[in-house]
Structure 1
């Protein structure tokens, strides 16, 4: 939803890196049409005399769960790699061998940083993909192979997991089971695992789950998942760790995961690349065949992006403890100032899953009586970039599937907005959000009228 300027603002809007992909903003004349709620947002901002987003330096970017700025050290590493490792890593000549060495060095560094075994005959594997979406699909469909079985997933998962689940269901021979959610939007796993497989016809068993929910920030209970694995023979688990990498310690050797997906654009790395960790001994079949990536993913590897991936992960892991503490404090303050701004406008601000364990950078806040899309567009006009949910679902008029499945009620689900902080977020930004949203909320409440949802 965010119509942030393409020029990078001071506090974190992801720019177009010269060593990564170009800006995703469409040129003038080809912009996506705004939803109907844009009219309501315009009405909400009529006569607005507060700070507008004409100057890119005034934009406050709070959509880091969608994408982050490429870090300078990452950009520098990719620039150097573009010069010295430009060749096709599958080529047998000296330039190709140099590129292959760089690629494999990146692979080993990433595996080691995530607690995987990087060397030796019984090593774990890392398959480079085009992003986390492809990694999720490969992890699930690849684990399924050609057999039939049962696939478990939930509404807290990313749309790519739901797409992979639907692929298996359409293929035939697969039963797709939705695991219910608790009110805090975490999995409500039954005491008796057989309850999840009552309609199953045998075959493989796969659980696809999300470590840190991109819709709510809630962190899944991996101990409960491990217990389910221990009590369910043959159950393979795919974990989407995309939102967790920068703020939670990831150790593949301790997770009950056969496969794990991630992407560096969530922690200061480039877009256009992702990764799928595959635990040793886990059978995986390719979705796109080819000789690259040990036959698990066809297509020439993007060596320069792999360099950015590895460097971004190194920095994120080194800063994780300090950044988690800093961002958690900022999130708490952000929630406080937003609640105060809502109260000053005669509204309530409901912090979703407030008492649950949440990843540091995400808070989802509902404003009963205000339409979420109207609020997001009005906030954008006031220079605050936020979202109605995951970026891949931003064009949907439907509320967050996780909030609906958690049974939070229409007043909450239809007014919930996601705020996500990042490395560039500063205390002054948080205070400014309170000031800007106070005016936005007052005008949105007036435009939507009492009782709006």
Structure 2
């Protein structure tokens, strides 16, 4: 089976797994004062420090969470509820964790503006500037789109917001470990990440909070400086630190390797009739390839891919099983039928050229099986494309 769904989750790195074993063996509570607790606290803070070093921030600027969705929620609810009222700006193509939080804030009386993307999924700083109001509290713009891979002008938007006295949050869950994501590079006041997107364990994430930013705690308690109560997941946090450290160390060469694989896969897929790329052609993550196969039955396409030994997805893993087409693809102008006939391939650390070639052949066969007779006739007349 060829795994090309790294944007949904990455395999746990064997070195990270080995490093987590010592944390698993320690059953102390990091908040306890006895020897077991002190050892647990030492490991917890070591994981936090490794993560902080990878992000380029201070350890105390990190609030440990259960993952990216909780980090997003803490950023949005935390800022909004600390202020009590006001206006928030985001986009139509954010992750569902952000969009659903904003919907809930609207129900609580906050005003929300969602910016529309262009056909590549891009949002421009000028759009943000036009949307800002005197009561705008927060702008939230993801670093990399989780479905398309499109890169956003995060630094420019961060500078714009700072000049206007507005807090800026970026969901960097899909970005960290794939593109440079240090705090000073992004310029954001709040940054969300999740360990399982960079070869760490599931169930661990973090929210970077720039010093001086006030948040309303969603889970009251004494842990995490009072911002997130509950006993920390020690093995997962320690593994997240190890994974972040390695992700940053290998990023320069790995990013270049992934870009080569991405271009190779794109070349194969786009040579097939009726297959079109979604997302920006160049301003895109090196691991994302999202395509629409016109005339194909989307469900049949994915099922046939799976039967042929390739794991891919129709979009965000958080929306899997949904009969509704991707909100991201609809926002960039795809019809409901086209959105349903779209597939996201995402490459990773263990992907090889041979797997890319084999996956492309499997896709060509899955496409043949999932198209109606009219498209088969077209394919026969115009040629079979790449095999």
Q: Paired residue for 1:148, among 85, 101, 114?
A: 85
Residue in structure 1 matched with residue 276 of structure 2 by the alignment:
350
Deviation, 1:237, is 1.0
Deviation, 1:192, is 7.9
Is the Cα–Cα contact under 8 Å of residues 247 and 321 in structure 1 kept in the other structure? Answer: no
Deviation, 1:407, is 2.1
Residue in structure 1 matched with residue 343 of structure 2 by the alignment:
417
**Mapped pair 1:427 → 2:353:** yes
Deviation, 1:203, is 3.9
Is the Cα–Cα contact under 8 Å of residues 180 and 188 in structure 1 kept in the other structure? Answer: no
- What is the DSSP-based 3-state SS (H/G/I as helix, E as strand, rest coil) of the residue aligned with 1:205? strand
Residue in structure 2 matched with residue 164 of structure 1 by the alignment:
101
**Mapped pair 1:391 → 2:317:** yes
Deviation, 1:79, is 0.8
Q: Paired residue for 1:219, among 148, 151, 166?
A: 151
- What is the DSSP-based 3-state SS (H/G/I as helix, E as strand, rest coil) of the residue aligned with 2:113? strand
Residue in structure 2 matched with residue 229 of structure 1 by the alignment:
161
Task: Mark the runs of 5 or more structure 2 residues left unpaired by the alignment.
Answer: 378-387
Is the Cα–Cα contact under 8 Å of residues 155 and 188 in structure 2 kept in the other structure? Answer: no
Summarize deviations over 1:395-428 as a string: whole Å, max 9, x none.
Answer: 2222222222122445642322100011111111
- Separation (CA, whole Å) in 1 of partners of 2:337 and 2:163: 39
User: What CA RMSD, in Å, does the superposition of the two structures yield over aligned residues?
Assistant: 1.9
Is the Cα–Cα contact under 8 Å of residues 144 and 204 in structure 1 kept in the other structure? Answer: no
Q: Paired residue for 1:111, among 38, 52, 61?
A: 52
Compare the two structures and name the one with the higher helix fraction: 2
Q: Structure 1 residues 218, 131: CA separation in 2 closer, same or farther (over 3 Å shift)?
A: same
**Mapped pair 1:101 → 2:32:** no
Summarize deviations over 1:83-119 as a string: whole Å, max 9, x none.
Answer: 2x3210001111101111111121122112111134x
- Separation (CA, whole Å) in 1 of partners of 2:27 and 2:374: 55
- Separation (CA, whole Å) in 1 of partners of 2:238 and 2:265: 34
Is the Cα–Cα contact under 8 Å of residues 229 and 256 in structure 1 kept in the other structure? Answer: no
- What is the DSSP-based 3-state SS (H/G/I as helix, E as strand, rest coil) of the residue aligned with 1:247? coil
- What is the DSSP-based 3-state SS (H/G/I as helix, E as strand, rest coil) of the residue aligned with 2:126? coil
- Separation (CA, whole Å) in 2 of partners of 1:251 and 1:70: 22
Q: Structure 1 residues 301, 447: CA separation in 2 closer, same or farther (over 3 Å shift)?
A: farther
Is the Cα–Cα contact under 8 Å of residues 179 and 189 in structure 1 kept in the other structure? Answer: no
Task: Mark the runs of 5 or more structure 1 residues left unpaired by the alignment.
Answer: 1-58, 119-123
Residue in structure 2 matched with residue 181 of structure 1 by the alignment:
117
Deviation, 1:226, is 2.8
Summarize deviations over 1:132-161 as a string: whole Å, max 9, x none.
Answer: 110100011111124111111112211000
Is the Cα–Cα contact under 8 Å of residues 151 and 206 in structure 1 kept in the other structure? Answer: yes
- What is the DSSP-based 3-state SS (H/G/I as helix, E as strand, rest coil) of the residue aligned with 1:210? coil
Q: Structure 1 residues 285, 129: CA separation in 2 closer, same or farther (over 3 Å shift)?
A: same
- Separation (CA, whole Å) in 1 of partners of 2:238 and 2:127: 44
Is the Cα–Cα contact under 8 Å of residues 125 and 153 in structure 2 kept in the other structure? Answer: no
Aligned residues: 376
**Mapped pair 1:190 → 2:122:** no
Is the Cα–Cα contact under 8 Å of residues 193 and 206 in structure 2 kept in the other structure? Answer: yes
**Mapped pair 1:361 → 2:361:** no
- The aligned runs of 1:255-274 (5 Å cut-off) are 255-274=186-205
- Separation (CA, whole Å) in 2 of partners of 1:371 and 1:349: 13
- What is the DSSP-based 3-state SS (H/G/I as helix, E as strand, rest coil) of the residue aligned with 1:92? coil
**Mapped pair 1:73 → 2:15:** yes
Residue in structure 2 matched with residue 443 of structure 1 by the alignment:
369
Report the TM-score when normalising by structure 2: 0.92
- Separation (CA, whole Å) in 2 of partners of 1:211 and 1:285: 24
Residue in structure 1 matched with residue 237 of structure 2 by the alignment:
306
Residue in structure 2 matched with residue 23 of structure 1 by the alignment:
none
- Separation (CA, whole Å) in 2 of partners of 1:379 and 1:448: 21
Q: Structure 1 residues 438, 299: CA separation in 2 closer, same or farther (over 3 Å shift)?
A: same
Deviation, 1:370, is 0.9
- Separation (CA, whole Å) in 1 of partners of 2:345 and 2:200: 20
- Separation (CA, whole Å) in 1 of partners of 2:128 and 2:203: 41
Q: Structure 1 residues 90, 411: CA separation in 2 closer, same or farther (over 3 Å shift)?
A: same
Q: Structure 1 residues 414, 306: CA separation in 2 closer, same or farther (over 3 Å shift)?
A: same
